[in-house]
A and B are shown apart, each in its own frame.
Chain A
Amino acid sequence: MNTDKQLLTKTNIVVVGNGMVGHHFVEEMAKNPNYQITVLSAESRLAYDRVHLSEYFGGKTADDLAMTTPEHYEELGVNFKTNAKVILIDKIVQYVTTENGETYHYDKLILATGSYPFVPPIPGKDQDHCLVYRTIDDLEDIANSAKVSKVGVVIGGGLLGLEAANAIKQLGLQTHVVEFAPQLMGVQIDGGGGRLLREKIEDLGVKVHTSKATNVIEKGDTSRYKLCFNDGSELETDLILFSAGIRPYDNLAREFELTLGERGGIVVNNQCQTSDENIYAIGECALWNNFIFGLVAPGYAMAKVVAKHIDGITGENGDIAEFTGADMSTKLKLMGVEVGSIGDAHGKTAGSLTYTYENQPEGVYKKIVVSADKKALLGAVLIGDTSEYDTLLQYMLNAIELPESPEGLILPMAADKPTLGVDALPESATICSCHNVTKGDIIASIDAGATTVGDVKSCTKAGSGCGGCAALVKSVADNEFEKRGVEVKKDICEHFAYSRREIFDIVSVEKIKTFDELLEKHGKGLGCEICKPVAGSVLASVWNDYILKKPHLSLQDTNDTYLGNMQKDGTYSVVPRIAGGEITPDKLIVLGEVANKYNLYTKITGGARVDLFGARVEQLPPIWKELVDAGFETGHAYGKSLRTVKSCVGSTWCRYGVQDSMSMAIDLENRYKGLRAPHKIKFGVSGCTRECAEAQGKDIGIIATDNGWNLYVAGNGGMKPRHADLFATDLDDETLVKYVDRILMFYVQTGDRLQRTSVWMDNLEGGLAYLQDVVMKDSLGITDVLETQMASIVGSYQCEWKTTIEDPEALKRFKPFVNSDKGDSNIQFVTEREQIRPARGQEKIEVTLIDTIENDTETADALAEEA
């Protein structure tokens, strides 16, 4: 082993600051085992997603925003310290010292200290309730202050200021924005755009004050404070939020003599080295070409360059990796207003020409800036509608020649709108700027075996930053799949050249009621174990017929046929529904009695119900008869359908609960039980943000708030955990159920076979925003249909077990042999921890004659139930 040698030769890299960029550097550098990385973070937590910081007010927690965990860093072999602000750099001996007096030697030092909010030197700025917007701690302060405030003012009307204004408005404050310049977002958009943006924002109830400089903050007359402006006017407010720009954290560089820019920022070269060759600076503290980049994507690019430079990796043609600047175009939604800014938005390039389109009634403003010869796009401003953003950006980034009449690019009804096919993009075109993924990278990932858009995303990381590129990534990938004739093949099997969704459409449109009819009209052969259950599930969703009716019987998996989960020895498990996990003592006793009588292995599942294992086929009907008589219903543990709604007791019992989560959970479980879907569905309902029901790991998650319910979708635990997406906040009961109806029905219609909601969401073109549009804005005009379908399914629910035990024909199937009353001699049990379990090979005894053996067991399914 050469570990000792490796230890000795490992290069020590110390990273100061664990913001988004510092963290990205760690991820890049840790790929290479020859380096020992130490991270020193001034904040109390490891890196989190600052770009999505505002979602903290939308219900996301610090954990949700986290970009890494201590465990993950440990896995990477990275040393780290939080609350470890660096206060000293010794460039000669090469070490740094933290506030706590700890010292770390470095071979290479990375400054990724980011920036801090600039607070203008206004007298009175240092009082309580005068806050900034940069860290999670800041947001906690704002939330606390908002609780005792009525009016809030944001000083600064730039991009971040408007985001902050939105946040305090959501916290229920009467909101004002004060801007020194004559317009909002002066950096990114022009006067025309600024005017429209202001109108739109004022329509939303935020007061905008432009051309105002604040002289002093004084004690207020009606509120806590008042701002006194230089024009003599005043504004009363309780909370003040400064968002007047950012300043690089360059104090270390200043004190320890690294070259700084005139107006601050640590000067770096194209390799991001500072004036000391062993010290690099990346992210928002670095000044490159006299410019500070206030976005993550350029910071990530710098991080990559440094990782390569340290490792001495040269480019393909022998060049040393270089940072060559970055595009600062942005697209975002501010208080629901779409805003896009590309390149030279102000038309400052000499000789440039502009085209402007404005539609006041609709609140849309678009401008493009083109070169004097009208061949190249230089910049653009889009307000109110950013649908052309991707196309315009690609024109600019790739210097693609503009069409004859460039105005067609932004005119709404231009006859043959020149949309830029992804085919036209060069391989070097950047598709995802957050992770610097080019069209060529996407193609390479497909060459390397990616077969779905999901694969492409996980190989290249495209789309996992701001998410703005998701639609483009998908069309580039799909285009490539199509070209290769991989022809995004969705045929479910050799018998049907259709996806589940297409089969769903065929069945509903042609009113097909049996598999035979479907096979005859649209398939071939005899069908198989793939298409038959799909057809069964679709027929059940569309017509909700009793699943064991003759024509459907042969379509069901054994689990659906015998209404239980088959275990490894051929016995079944019995899982009655216990809605929300609430059960009376009497019913609990019945479960115990039945389990005793039939000698069933008994286990409590992760879904808060009781699983009884080891029932032989012939025992299922008598067991279920007893259960149904005692008021139980089937739990559908065997079906691709609603499993459980996990919940806590909520405001009824819990000291912290804010809503009655128990009643909500039971109502929801009873509403959706029996619904057939592409895969199983789980819900969670928590009575407060402590989230005891782990709702954010469920397909549908609901968390009580003071004002109603927050709705989460597409979470998953199990094999591939996925954190649910926040779908809507503060819903009342009725709206909540309405949205869930629509979401579930849309999933039932469009999901692929065996696709959980998590994967469905990841593959949904347009993602969460698209689903929100479909469900909340009815963008497809189908919400009525979805609700009607759900109503009919809910209305025609029947307990399959009740129906079965009342039908002598159906009961015939539970006879083990058509010509004998014996049982299966291969099913044998032994006792373990006072219960049965299946006998293993050598434990089995040769038996030929058995009339009724006692009973049986199994395990694998308790797991399936929990996953």
Chain B
Amino acid sequence: MTAKQETTVLKGAHVIDPANGIDQVTDIMIHEGRIAGVGEHIIADDATVVDLTGKYLSPGWIDMHVHAYGTLGFADPDTVGVYQGVTSFVEAGGPGIGTLDEFFALMTDLETDLYVGPFIRPLGLLGLNFIEGDVRTLGDVPITRWVDTAKQHRDRIRYIKCNAMGDYGPGTLHVTKGLAQILGVPLYMHIGEFQLQTPDPVLAYEAFKIAEKGDMITHIYHGNLGQIIDDEGKIMPVVTDALERGVLFDLGFGGYNFSWDIAEKAFAQGIVPYTISSDLQQFNVIRPVQSLANVLSVMMHLGMPLKQLIECVTVNSAKAISLADRAGDLSVGKPADITVFEIEGGRFELMDCYTQTRTADKRVMPAMTFKNGKRFDADMTRGQAESNWFLQIAEDHIPDATAQLSERQLAFLGKLGTALSETDWELSSAERLDIPKALELQALFHRVREQSDLPLREALRAVYDSFVDNKFTMQIGLFLMRLERPFALSRMAEMAAKRPHLAA
């Protein structure tokens, strides 16, 4: 590489770097992937110069609530990362202690830094929202395993997540809080009910009571049961108490969790998020969430000033999840994680998660991202491609990716099929999921994998690639259970028969 490629000067953008008190037109120099200088009229010999006149530039955005992995995840998570102005994001609850090994094995090739906030349930999020609140799905909390795993992956685990919903009282919130204390990470709680029961007490308010300084509550403007305002539209005292104690409020827009009505009332009373996150997943990327930028546009329309918007996705999120050593500001020496964006004028319909829209006259639109100095031009459409979010089992054809499977992977599929033929399973229903069966299938997968001496990633990919065209991931027990049994067995046998020495 020549020096020219190693040094880049970003010229003429309006830089907003709240942590360093910068809010003016100035230049940024990147050298070898790090911020090398901030100031007016930087001139460097042999540097690549990017003219950003008329654009804004901020530290790379951090989205602390996305679903990149698992039942809600994307085939290509970078589509909602570096391609949409986001340089770091956190998987919010996709895996639990029983599936973190799968998460770590699979989520390795991303351009965007992916952290994780594991779920208290060993399996992680189930993706069936009627039963997410059922305490009987939670299973064990193996403390020793949590401690060992957290020690091994301290750098990637940023919070522990639980859902404050369901009808069994606040016990699970206390359990999760206890675990978070043991591991020394913040507690991250979902509020808002959407299961079939009508719980009493409503756990959202228990969440506000249990949360301590530095703990986080997400979906603060949701419009479901357990809102932060009362029938008269006034902020509930438990909410203001929590805020005064130093509990951090996160937006978590999502597919169910943002109501214009609630947001307008709460915002008018001074309840604003400390961090802005998207909750992007398979089921909301088309609408209403689309991107973190769209969520910023929503907050801008609500009345949040630009500088504060940027704070909420840079320095605040970095502080909330202890990333300030490497992200959230443009100090010299930090990794060159940078988002360049524009404020576009026009007429824009901004949807909430219910039926309300508001018409805005401006919006936030990413232009390019630098991740460790590497440039990505924004592409707001690739996240929306069906291949990125529509997880479909390839029932009528064998996915092309199987052509890359090794002989060992094919042999493994044969053994897995044989082992599976000795047990029985049925697809879940929307109201019922056979968790013990999912765990049994998961254990069976691991047993065959160990016998085959196949690395976890290769074993997982062998299964996914045999059944799905795009690079989706899912907890293996849940994935196997989703397959129709006769079809699964015959496809695995078919794959095993493809082994070269058999074919020859």
Query: Does A associate with B in a complex?
Result: no
Which A residues form the contact surface with B (CB < 8 A)?
none
